Structure 1
Amino acid sequence: MSKLIRGIVPALVTPFDEDDNLAVNRVPALVKNLLDANVSGFFVCGSTGEGKAMTVDERKRMAEAVVPEVGGTVPVLMHVGATSTENAIDLAKHAKSTGADAVSSIAPIDAPNDFEAALTHYSAIGEATDLPFYVYWFPSSGSTDMTAERFLEGLAKVRNFVGFKFTDMNLYLFSRLVDQSGGELNAITGPDEICAAGMMMGSDGAVGSTYNIMPRIFIDMYESFQSGNVKAAMEAQVKANRVLALLFKVGPVTGIKEILAIRSIPVGQTRSGYPRITDEGRETLRKGMGAFDFEVA
């Protein structure tokens, strides 16, 4: 089976203006910056993209802005997960109409640790279009004792299911999923801090937040691993994790948006209701970024 995602895919931040409104006019610069870095795709309106803080209409407008801007050069995956399955189906159908390449969804927010409810939700989305469907896996997407066998048996019934974004630190489960699926599924890791480890466990690529600000570090990591230079891949991961440790002090998404602003790619603050960077956090970020002995890019 041909796999849609291979390589490094930014979980795209969503730009807002100073009044907290969606600012699609800021999408072109954001997308161009990442295309120039040679990323392998875009994951839109997920957790990093603050999708759950956006209305259905705003998420549609974001799709309408990103897909044409990317112009078919790399795949665009639209996250369509929503509190209601009806909204998720609506978003999936809209994603298809924009020319997006695939859709993805988290499990229903109001049914944590209920794998059967998640399967019902996924099945409805899978039936809504003919787009490839990716499960956006969190630990809360199923039971605490989830096995690869149960996961694969359940999802085998979901139409158009082709892979998963694994946002979980349980690399044992990840490796079992890769192994038990015979490598047929498009296996993508989520946590940036274990990107290289995921590659060693058989990932095809990764979707991550900090790829918005340091795509080249992760692309170098991926290319090093693909060429057999595991040592260089791990060295790149160590660099990335130094940046991540700094971002964790101020809040990852708000920190990423602040760094983009410093680089003259304005995307606004995180949306009202989300943690926002303080003056103290801004100073911590600026000092920390200036102290690295490598380029964060």
Structure 2
Amino acid sequence: MRPNASESRSSLRGLIAATYTPLDAQGRLRLGGIDPLTDHLVEQGIEGLYVCGSTGEGMSLSTAERKQIAERTVAAAAGRVPVIVQVGHNCVEEAAELAAHAAQAGADVVSATCPSYYPITSPDALVETMGRIAEAGGSLPFYYYHIPALTGSAIDIVEFLETAQSKIANLAGLKYTDTKLHEFQACQNVAGGSLDIVFGCDEMLLGALATGAKGAIGSTFNILAPLYREVIAAFEKSDFAAARRAQLQAVQIIRALQQYPFHAAMKQILSWQGFDCGPCRMPQRKLTDAERQSLQEVLSSRWPALGIQ
């Protein structure tokens, strides 16, 4: 998943962690937690940071908080890996403000979901909406964040890209978070393959690689980067049996985590690994004491490499 010489410098490649937002026990922003987690992710081979997305609870944070997170992450990354700031908002002008701020703060890329309260019912309307946000980011590459399970968007994403590629000047690509590999492949074919289509479903990384993925953004990359690097390395050597084994292990761990409030469980694992991210903010709930004990027992007994004692 390395770029070749002909690929755009704005292309996102390799494993990109959708970062968690550190909060204190009362759910208040704890910016000091960003620095050690960023250093750890870079050391683990992460090649980019996707900030304030679904994983980072962007939709549960205020505009002021999101600006602080963007600034601190850019500073913590210190140019070692690209920082992608997700600015989607139900208020388009708030999203545009966040995009402009991301550019000023030194981010490398802007990304945005579509507004989700009032449904967008046509590709043209989505192009116009995303165009306003992308324009506010100036010259920064813009990636639309396609996650229909959370936004409820029923827009044909291929049709959107076909329209947007000639109307949004800084459109660089798409964060594709869905399970339709045939659609993912069709997206890669738009505009002669000139757009960068980044995959966003951790459980299906191997399938995405086989369908042409060069980069992926994921939540579980925070705790399983070495395992996903095994998937990629085995795939690149055409050792598909080894790639399947590594991918299956990731699938099994994710299935175990899905028995709990997922992001709360992920933040708990990071805390056990020495990176205190606190609880999730409402409306997501905290783990109960019983869930925390159960999670610890499951992980320590089945996957000791996670370092959970």
TM-score when normalising by structure 2: 0.91
1:67-100 deviations in Å (ceiling 9; x for gaps): 0110111111000101111111111111111111
Gaps of 5+ in 2: 1-6
Q: 1:119 to 1:111 in 2, by over 3 A?
A: farther
Query: AA paired with 2:54?
Result: S
Identity of aligned residues (%): 33
In the TM superposition, 1:195-210 aligns within 5 A as 195-210=205-220
Shift of 1:179: 2.5
Uncovered stretches (5+) of structure 1, i.e. residues with no partner = none
Q: Which residue number corresponds to residue 15 of structure 2? A: 8
In the aligned structure 1, how far is the partner of 2:191 from the partner of 2:254? 31
Counterpart of 1:88, as a letter, is A
Give 1:120's match in structure 2, choosing from 108, 125, 128: 128
Residue 23 of structure 1 corresponds to: 30
Distance 1:35 1:248 in 2: 26
Query: Is 2:163 the counterpart of 1:154?
Result: yes
Contact 2:113 2:145 in 1 (8 A): yes
Which secondary structure state, in structure 1, belongs to the residue aligned with residue 305 of structure 2?
Answer: coil
SS at match of 1:100: coil
The equivalent residue for 1:49 is 56
C-alpha change, 1:142 and 1:258, in structure 2 (3 Å) is closer
CA offsets per residue over residues 133-161 of structure 1, 9 Å max, x none? Answer: 0010023668647262x122222112211
Two-structure CA RMSD over aligned residues (Å): 1.8
Task: State the secondary structure of the residue aligned to 2:279.
Answer: coil
Matched to 1:155, the amino acid is A
| Equivalent residue, structure 1, for 2:198 | 188
SS in 1 for 2:259: helix
Structure 1 length-normalised TM = 0.94
In the TM superposition, what whole-angstrom CA distance separates every residue of 1:161-189 from its partner, at most 9, and x where no partner exists? 11111111111111111133433211111
CA distance in 2, matches of 1:68, 1:30: 13
Deviation by residue 1:15-56 (Cα, 9 ceiling, x = unmatched) = 001121100011111111101101110000000000000000
Alignment partners' CA distance in 2, 1:98 and 1:180: 31
Q: Secondary structure at the match of 1:43?
A: strand
User: Does the 8 Å CA contact 1:108/1:118 hold for their aligned counterparts?
Assistant: no
Q: Equivalent of 2:279, from 256, 259, 269?
A: 269
